[in-house]
Structure 1
Amino acid sequence: MRHQVCIIGGGPSGLLLSLLLRRAGIDAVVLERRSRSYVLSRIRAGVLEQGLCDILREAGVGARMDAEGFVHDGTIITAHGTTVHIDFKKLTGKSVMIYGQTEVTHDLYDALDRIDAPIFHEAEDVAIHDANGDAPYVTFTHDGKNQRIECDYIAGCDGFHGVSRRSIPDAVRREFEHVYPFGWLGILSETPPVTDELVYSGHERGFALCSMRNANLSRHYLQVPLTDQPEDWSDEAFWAELKLRLPPHLAEVLVTGPSIEKSIAPLRSFISEPMSWGRIFLAGDAAHIVPPTGAKGLNLAASDVYYLSRALISHFGGDGQPLRDYSATALARVWKASRFSWSMTRMLHEFPSEGDFLAKMQAAEVDYLAHSPAAQTALAENYVGLPY
Structure 2
Amino acid sequence: MRTQVAIIGGGPSGLLLSQLLHSAGIESVVLERRSRDYVLSRIRAGVLETGLVDLMHEAGVGDRMEREGFVHDGTLLANGNEQFRIDFKALTGRHVMVYGQTEVTRDLYEARDAAGGTVIHECRGVKPHDLDTAAPFVTFLHDGKVNRLDCDFVAGCDGYHGPSRQEIPTAERTEYEKTYPFGWLGVLSETPPVADELIYANSERGFALCSMRNDSLSRYYIQCDLSDSPDDWTDEMFWDELKRRIPEEAADRLVTGPSIEKSIAPLRSFVCEPMRWGRLFLCGDAAHIVPPTGAKGLNTAASDVHYLFNALRHFYHDRDDEGLEKYSETALARIWKTERFSWWFSSLMHRYPDQSGFDLRMQQAELAFLRDNEAAQKAMAESYVGLPY
Asked whether the two chains share a fold, i.e. TM above 0.5, the reply is yes
Q: Secondary structure at the match of 1:159?
A: coil
Residue in 1 aligned with 2:54?
54
TM-score normalized by structure 2?
0.99
- Whether 2:274 is the aligned partner of 1:279: answer no
Q: How does 1:18-167 map to 2 (within 5 A)?
A: 18-167=18-167
Take 1:308 and 1:130, find their aligned partners in 2: how far apart are those partners? Answer: 20
Kept in 1, the 8 Å contact 2:73–2:88? The answer is yes
Take 2:203 and 2:359, find their aligned partners in 1: how far apart are those partners? Answer: 13
Q: Secondary structure at the match of 1:267?
A: strand
* Ranges in structure 2 where 5+ consecutive residues have no aligned partner: none
Kept in 2, the 8 Å contact 1:82–1:370? The answer is no
Take 1:352 and 1:8, find their aligned partners in 2: how far apart are those partners? Answer: 39
Kept in 2, the 8 Å contact 1:183–1:266? The answer is yes
Q: Secondary structure at the match of 1:336?
A: helix
After superposition, what is the alpha-carbon deviation per residue over 1:301-329, rounded to whole angstroms, capped at 9, x for unaligned? 00000000000111112111011010000
Q: Secondary structure at the match of 2:172?
A: coil
Residue in 2 aligned with 1:358?
359
Take 1:122 and 1:80, find their aligned partners in 2: how far apart are those partners? Answer: 47
Q: How does 1:1-388 map to 2 (within 5 A)?
A: 1-317=1-317, 318-388=319-389
Kept in 1, the 8 Å contact 2:9–2:33? The answer is yes
Take 2:191 and 2:80, find their aligned partners in 1: how far apart are those partners? Answer: 27
- The amino acid that maps onto 1:20 is L
Q: Secondary structure at the match of 1:25?
A: coil
Q: Percent identity?
A: 63
Give the C-alpha shift of residue 134 in structure 1: 1.4
After superposition, what is the alpha-carbon deviation per residue over 1:144-190, rounded to whole angstroms, capped at 9, x for unaligned? 01100111100000000000000000000000000000000000000
Alpha-carbon spacing, 1:210–1:201, altered in 2? closer, same or farther (3 Å): same
Q: Secondary structure at the match of 2:77?
A: strand
Give the C-alpha shift of residue 354 in structure 1: 2.3
* Count of residue correspondences: 388
Take 1:114 and 1:86, find their aligned partners in 2: how far apart are those partners? Answer: 40
Take 1:166 and 1:342, find their aligned partners in 2: how far apart are those partners? Answer: 25
Kept in 2, the 8 Å contact 1:82–1:366? The answer is no
Give the C-alpha shift of residue 82 in structure 1: 4.0
- The amino acid that maps onto 1:374 is A
Take 1:378 and 1:288, find their aligned partners in 2: how far apart are those partners? Answer: 23
- The amino acid that maps onto 1:48 is L
After superposition, what is the alpha-carbon deviation per residue over 1:204-257, rounded to whole angstroms, capped at 9, x for unaligned? 111000000000000000000000000000000000000000111111111100
Kept in 2, the 8 Å contact 1:189–1:219? The answer is yes
Give the C-alpha shift of residue 81 in structure 1: 5.0
Kept in 1, the 8 Å contact 2:48–2:99? The answer is yes
Kept in 2, the 8 Å contact 1:270–1:288? The answer is yes
Q: Secondary structure at the match of 1:300?
A: helix
* Ranges in structure 1 where 5+ consecutive residues have no aligned partner: none
Kept in 2, the 8 Å contact 1:211–1:220? The answer is yes
Give the C-alpha shift of residue 259 in structure 1: 0.3
Q: Secondary structure at the match of 2:120?
A: strand
Q: Secondary structure at the match of 1:294?
A: coil
Take 2:62 and 2:297, find their aligned partners in 1: how far apart are those partners? Answer: 19
Take 1:234 and 1:221, find their aligned partners in 2: how far apart are those partners? Answer: 14
Take 2:295 and 2:134, find their aligned partners in 1: how far apart are those partners? Answer: 38
- The amino acid that maps onto 1:55 is L
Take 1:82 and 1:310, find their aligned partners in 2: how far apart are those partners? Answer: 45
Give the C-alpha shift of residue 356 in structure 1: 1.6
- The amino acid that maps onto 2:194 is V
Take 1:154 and 1:147, find their aligned partners in 2: how far apart are those partners? Answer: 16
Give the C-alpha shift of residue 357 in structure 1: 1.7
RMSD: 0.7
Q: Which runs of 4+ in 1 moved over 6 A?
A: none
Q: Secondary structure at the match of 1:209?
A: strand
TM-score normalized by structure 1?
0.99
Give the C-alpha shift of residue 80 in structure 1: 4.6
- The amino acid that maps onto 1:214 is N
- The amino acid that maps onto 2:38 is Y
Kept in 2, the 8 Å contact 1:177–1:271? The answer is yes
Kept in 2, the 8 Å contact 1:82–1:367? The answer is no
Take 2:362 and 2:34, find their aligned partners in 1: how far apart are those partners? Answer: 45
Take 1:146 and 1:177, find their aligned partners in 2: how far apart are those partners? Answer: 35
Kept in 2, the 8 Å contact 1:230–1:262? The answer is yes
Kept in 2, the 8 Å contact 1:160–1:285? The answer is yes
